[in-house]
Structure 1
Amino acid sequence: MNHVPKRSETAAEHRWQLEDLFQNQAAWDKEYADAKSMMKKVAAFEGKLSDASQLKACFELEDELSLAVERLYVYANMKHHEDTAEPAYMALSDKSKKISVETGEALSFVTPEVLSLSDEKLEAFIKDPNLAKYRHTLEEMRRQKAHVLSKNEEALMAQVGNISSAPSSIFSILNNADLKFPKVKNENGEEVELSHGRYIQFLESKNREVRKNAFTAMYDTYGKLKNTLATTLNANVTKNIFYARARKYPSALEMSLYGDNIPQSVYTNLIDAIHKSLPLMHRYMNLRKKLLGVDELHMYDLFAPLVDEFDMDITYEQAKATVKESLKPLGEDYLAVLQDGFDNGWIDVYENEGKRSGAYSWGAFGTHPYVLLNHKDNLNSMFTLTHEMGHALHSYYSDNTQNYRDAQYTIFLAEVASTLNEALLMDYLLGKSTDPKEKMYLLTYYADQFRTTVFRQTMFAEFEKIVHERTEQGESLTPQELSKIYYDLNVLYYGKDMVVDKDIEMEWARIPHFYTSFYVYKYATGFSAATSFSKQILEEGAPAVDRYLGFLKSGGSDFSINILKKAGVDMSTPEPIEQAMSVFESLIEQMEQLTK
């Protein structure tokens, strides 16, 4: 079939079964009406939450209402994603968004009212056996209490909210709408307009001239706007410092880590451990230079293919079988749940007309998870399958072990299960590969994940830390200063075998994540935690698997750092990063062997 099929033309066994969530539209409409009437009951609790039995009843209603709205929202939006052009589901999606916002507004008094109670009262609630189910919620509220302001101040902070999103909005408009890139020559010598999407394609070109021209054109464009972009980034930093000071945090970094209750040592540990591992990164750069056969390795050579594209034609059926085989170390129970997902309508497999692009795992508590794919018969799609099923099984185990409130895990933990599955798949593929070309392709695929997810994201995290600290000390950061900090970090991270081109000093100006401050470190910690888990599972077997399944079952029932620690990965020490680095080192050794 050469055309993209319509939704109606895709086979039933390749479609997810949303009937498991709602049998039909009438069932959705009924739950919508129920949620609307539940919402009306919420207001009756306002002003009464100092009484333990009232608080319990309020929390129970909040759970029931929130779950109903989550189910309505997830179903409506997944229906919309099946075919985004279908007006009926566009309308349903809008309807679900509205009720979600209304529910948030109806419940908005609960947290402030609980926080206005005395410390003694909160302590008594935490110890009350009748409220045992809500202990973690209450402990979390007590922890936040120190940073909640008076009623009037909170009202003022809420109004500031609209202004505070300005730096991010301005950057987004500038970066996505107003920036105009020049034309550059592609591999066929044709003039093509450079864009964000095409930039990586150009950098992956085998033709070095194409790579260099795209790289120079990209940073020239940003360089012309350096004063505006520096002002925008500085405004974002100033906003973070304003919030940190207003809410009585020692620094912007500590404020951002406080939400997940992550000690600052986790952040600084990551940077220190990666600094100690930089010789490995430098060794990989040396190998890259050798494999590309260049006299000098430049920044625009980082994405150039090291081996000819190795075509691995993998059907969906083969992908499922290989993924299952690779996850055998996780034991029979895990494999049985995985098979259930494969067989029983969890996955929407192929692209169809109007279907949302990309891939995700989603769902609502009380029903099995769902996975959206747009499967192509290649290696990337097989990794996507195992990645998304990692998320799905994490949700499955959490939902089946925890109550509704404690089942939701944090973003800090979210990428661990998915990345662990990828690590086990990679280990399996490398173990059975006999073709040196295939092996080299897999090794470079994996080594580049370490480079981009651990080293690069840590470098970003370090840049954010420096920029905020300097501003907190009263320094003003000019475009020249921002560029110098960024350039020096590149020199440090890439080492003497890399010619750090002057152009790269403007890269800070095009990273959208810098407007979601102190977020990127989670990519590096998540990847390191997953790699540490996979190493323990492959070396220790059953005891490590039991610890890992305990992690999957914990959901959000404790603070993220404690959940990982109980499972044998202590992110407040350098050990998980060191374990991940030992895996990276073995990849480099294998690549060096193949190039001899």
Structure 2
Amino acid sequence: MTTFKRPALTVLALGFALATAFGTPAMAQADNQLDRWDLTSLYQDDAAFDADAGKLTAQLQQLAACKGQLGASPARLKSCLDLYAEARKRVNRLSTYASQYYDQDTGDSKGNQLSQRAALLGNSFTQATTFLQPEILALGGKRVDALLAKDKGLQLYRFQLSTMLRNAPHTLDGAGEQLVSQFGLATSSAASIYRTLANSEVPWPTVKLSTGKEVRLDQAAYTKYRGDDNRTDRKLVFDDFFGKWKEYERTFGETLYGQLKTDAAYAKVRRYTNSQEAALDADHLPPAVYQTLIAQTNANLPTLHRYFKLRARMLGVTDLAYYDIYAPLLKSERSFPLAEGKQMMLASAAPLGADYVKALTAAASARWMDVYPRPRKAAGAYMNGDAYDVHPFVLLNYTDNYEAVSTLTHEWGHAMHSVLANKAQPSIYAPYSIFVAEIASTTNEALLLDHQLKVAKDDDERLLYLGAALEGLRGTFFRQAMFAEFEAAIHGKVDQGESLTGEQMTAIYAGILKRYHGETQGVMKIDPAYALEWAYVPHFYHGFYVFQYATSIAAAQAFSQRIVAKEPGALQAYLKMLGSGGSSDPYELVKAAGVDLATPQPYQALVARMNGIMDQIEAIESKRGK
């Protein structure tokens, strides 16, 4: 099942992707039910959920009767694939309800029970369908082609069947697939333990800021106060927040090590060389994409170091520290309430066409979002678009600053991707790869920043947006590539049979952190205490996920620039890519739309844009005699 639930997925999702260039935001407004999602669009009540779960059970029993029958006739193959598609759509809807219910209050035992039940249903679905791929492989390509030729209705499943046949070297026989599926529940606990511990059970410290204000420093508060104007407060926030993670270094080391061992075991069982190969092959991504990203990032570290030197000058510090990377480059008291943030998002989407803006306007006005932070609510931001017959769901922790507007725009980029794919594709092909998904979100972010630069009234405001653009590129390209390099390192050790403790992970992360931030070159001194940051990143429980943020923002710059410039065919090609969902290999979809992420060009273009933004900032600063 495809989901873009960032387990705090970006900020832990976009806290990583885009640090604000504005000052400290106002506190979120009082809770309002209209600012929460309406889950009755999925199920009216528990009885409706139970009834649908019962229908799924019946469908799985019907699927069992398909075993050994797929090659009987074209009609039988089609009926079984139709049944599979319907069952998958149903299990996705059940899982979406359970997931959204849990995330709105992670301390509610009912949500936990629903999540566990949905996991059981999902595992039952997996077990009931394990025979499909081995049986298709046993039929062979010639027999499958013959069946396709005899029934036009089967053409719908051509890509699905070709994908199954492509995976022949990594598919076990029927008994083997059934055995592997039995371990699904037993090997999926690491991420759940992490999420429960990090969101509900870690006793977050309370800090007293220089203003006298006391703040409970949980993940949402860290994201908010790490960019505080006061440097002493920033250091206090970093010290206490990562100091708390340090107390759990062994525990989080064990949970992540458990996930790495699981990934290594499945890769070996599936006859892959290593975990990375297995992860990339799931979407048929060329290894050159990952390799080129890391190589180009390292080759262009001087640009990142230039940015840090510029940041130090603008902040007026000579000893730039890691806790300075989110500080506002210019002070501003401006806040962006949700209504204003929505208007900014809608105005910036205008280059995507009137139909896109109309659909986005209607969706953002409906109860598809859970907007504001609350105790026990899941941290970060994400979009879940798995409920094919309903609509996407967006989780935010909106805090009225520019970063929050960017996150809003990012997640609705995902949501509109799902809206377009669900409209254009049957349920079997509506889910799309993360590789394409993050392009949809970061393209909308790029359009937002482009729009804000155009409407800026003076150099002060322009600097704010240029700073945000610069930090967006730093956070989403260089930072996510750094995460990807860390992931490759820790997976590589476990793939080779080595043990790995939390302390060792901290040491590996510290080495990469220092290199990216230019410690040897005297750019920035890294306090070893902050190397516990790896434990804070939930993405690492979803193997080889984060590199796609970096590849995506590179592609997004290209797409947004072409669309804004009204390059002939650019918008149509981009929207076609979004509407294609998962109907083709994701790398090929992006390449067909005009960007080849296995070559250096997109990354070099991104770095050139980053240098261009710094040129503009330095020109303004020079004009002011700074």
CA deviation after TM superposition for structure 1 residue 588, in Å: 1.8
User: What displacement does 1:253 show?
Assistant: 1.1
SS in 1 for 2:429: helix
Of 378-387 and 538-547, more deviation after overlay is shown by 378-387
Distance change (3 Å), C-alpha of 1:308 and 1:261: same
Counterparts of residues 200-211 of structure 1 (less than 5 Å): 200-211=223-234
Q: Contact conserved, 1:260 with 1:560, CA < 8 A, in 2?
A: yes
Aligned to 1:257: 280
Of 493, 510, 515, the match for 1:487 = 510
- 1:446 alignment partner, SS class: helix
Q: For 1:572, give the aligned amino acid.
A: A
Are positions 1:304 and 2:327 aligned together? yes
1:461 aligns with 2:487: no
Partner of 1:526: 552
Q: Does 1:271 align with 2:297?
A: no
Higher helix share: 1
Q: What displacement does 1:543 show? A: 1.7
Q: Give deviations 1:233-276, integer Å, cap 9, x for gaps.
A: 55544443333233211222111111111111100111111122
Question: Is the counterpart of residue 536 in structure 1 residue 567 in structure 2?
Answer: no
Q: CA deviation at 1:306?
A: 2.1
Matched AA of 2:567:
G
Map 1:402-413 → 2, pairs under 5 A: 402-413=425-436
Aligned match for 2:210, one of 160, 184, 187? 187
- Residue 140 of structure 1 is matched in structure 2 by 163
Pick from 25, 28, 45: which aligns with 2:66? 45
What secondary structure sits across from 2:451 in the alignment?
helix
- Residue 580 of structure 2: which of 543, 546, 554 is its match? 554
Moved more, 521-530 or 117-126: 117-126
**Structure 2: how far apart are the matches of 1:23 and 1:300?**
46
1:259 alignment partner AA = A
Task: Note the aligned Cα RMSD (angstroms).
Answer: 4.3
Return closer, same or farther for 1:315/1:183 CA change in 2, 3 Å cut-off.
closer
Larger radius of gyration: 1
Aligned residue in 2 for 1:110: 132
Per-residue deviation, residues 353-375 of structure 1 (Å, max 9, x unmatched): 99977664646435565656677
Q: One-letter code of the match for 2:583?
A: S
**Which residue of the partner structure matches residue 389 of structure 1?**
412
Change in Cα spacing, 1:576 to 1:352, as seen in structure 2 (3 Å) is: closer
User: Partners of 1:353 and 1:180 in 2: how far apart?
Assistant: 16
Residue 517 of structure 1 corresponds to 543
Number of matched pairs: 588
Structure 1 position 449, deviation (Å): 1.9
Distance 1:236 1:332 in 2: 44
Distance 1:94 1:474 in 2: 31
CA contact (8 A) 1:312 1:378 kept: yes
CA separation in 2, counterparts of 1:464 and 1:513? 10
**Partner SS state of residue 406, structure 1:** coil
2: distance between equivalents of 1:409 and 1:114?
A: 23
Match of 1:325 among 347, 362, 373: 347
Matched residue SS, 2:409: helix
Shift of 1:564: 0.5
Q: Which moved more, 1:481-490 or 1:97-106?
A: 97-106
Query: C-alpha distance in 2, partners of 1:72/1:194?
Result: 34
Residue aligned with 2:263, SS: helix
* Aligned counterparts of 1:456 and 1:489: Cα–Cα separation in 2: 11
What amino acid maps onto 1:566 in structure 2? A
* Contact residue 373 and residue 396 of structure 2 kept, 8 A: no
Q: What is the TM-score normalised by the length of structure 1?
A: 0.82
Is 2:335 the counterpart of 1:335?
no
Distance 1:361 1:311, change over 3 A: farther
Q: How does 1:161-200 map to 2 (within 5 A)?
A: 161=184, 164-165=187-188, 185-188=208-211, 195-200=218-223
CA separation of 1:322 and 1:170: change in aligned 2, threshold 3 A:
closer
Residue number among 279, 304, 327 corresponding to 1:281 in the alignment: 304
Shift in Å, 1:194:
5.3
Give yes or no for contact 1:454–1:527 (8 Å, CA) kept in 2: yes
- 1:10-30 alpha-carbon deviations (Å, 9 max, x no partner): 5xxx89888987899999898
Name the CA distance, whole Å, in 2 between partners of 1:353 and 1:503.
28
d(CA) in 2 for partners of 1:470, 1:32: 41
For residue 284 of structure 2, give the secondary structure of its aligned residue in structure 1.
coil
- Whole-angstrom CA distance in 1 between matches of 2:494 and 2:99: 42
Task: Determine if contact 1:346/1:368 at 8 Å carries over to the other structure.
Answer: no
Structure 1 pair 319–304 and aligned structure 2 pair: CA distance change class (3 A): closer
Match of 2:593 among 563, 567, 571: 567
Partner Cα separation in structure 2 for residue 471 and residue 307 of structure 1: 44
* Contact 2:443–2:557 (CA under 8 A) maintained in structure 1: yes
Moved more, 18-27 or 97-106: 18-27
Partner of 1:579: 605
Summarize deviations over 1:96-128 as a string: whole Å, max 9, x none. 777666555544443343344345434545666
Q: Helix, strand or coil for the counterpart of 1:498?
A: coil
Amino acid at match of 2:545: Y
Q: Distance in 2 between matches of 1:460 and 1:485?
A: 11
Residues 239 and 356 of structure 1: CA distance in aligned 2, closer, same or farther (over 3 Å): closer
| Residue 433 in structure 1 maps to residue 459 in structure 2 | no
Residue 480 of structure 1: how far off its partner (Å): 7.2
**Equivalents in 1 of 2:254, 2:46: separation in Å?**
50
Question: CA, structure 1 residues 67+283, in 2 after alignment: closer, same or farther (shift >3 Å)?
Answer: same
Letter in 1 for 2:450: D
Residue of structure 1 in register with 2:443 after alignment: 420
Aligned pair in 2 of structure 1 residues 91, 274: CA closer, same or farther (>3 Å)?
A: closer
- Which 5+ residue runs of structure 2 have no aligned equivalent? 1-27
Question: Residue 500 of structure 1 corresponds to which residue in structure 2?
Answer: 526
- Are the structure 2 counterparts of residues 39 and 519 from structure 1 closer, same or farther at C-alpha, using a change threshold of 3 Å? closer
CA distance in 1, matches of 2:248, 2:130: 41
Q: Distance in 1 between matches of 2:555 and 2:504?
A: 34
